[in-house]
């Protein structure tokens, strides 16, 4: 097992669908590590 990080849009602070990030890395599991809701207006 190897643990890796992935950035949304390839940049710090970027957003991307968690499933898309996991697929891009070939992951079998993924955890959204953001404190804020990255997928809504306002991010809170």
Percent of the chain at pLDDT exceeding 70:
73
Residue 28 counted as domain residue: yes
| 31 pLDDT tier (thresholds 50, 70, 90) | confident
Residue 40 counted as domain residue: no
Domain count, the chain: 1
| 38 pLDDT tier (thresholds 50, 70, 90) | low
Residue 44 counted as domain residue: no
**The three-state (H, E, C) secondary structure of 1-44, written as one string:** CCCCCCCHHHCCCCCCCHHHHHHHHCCCCCCCCCCCCCCCHHHC
Residue 41 counted as domain residue: no
Residue 38 counted as domain residue: no
Residue 23 counted as domain residue: yes
């Amino acid at each position: 097992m190897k643990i890796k990080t992935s950035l949304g849009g390839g940049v710090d602070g970027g957003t991307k669908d968690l499933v898309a990030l996991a697929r891009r890395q070939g992951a079998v599991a993924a955890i959204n590590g953001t404190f804020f809701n990255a997928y809504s207006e306002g991010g809170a």
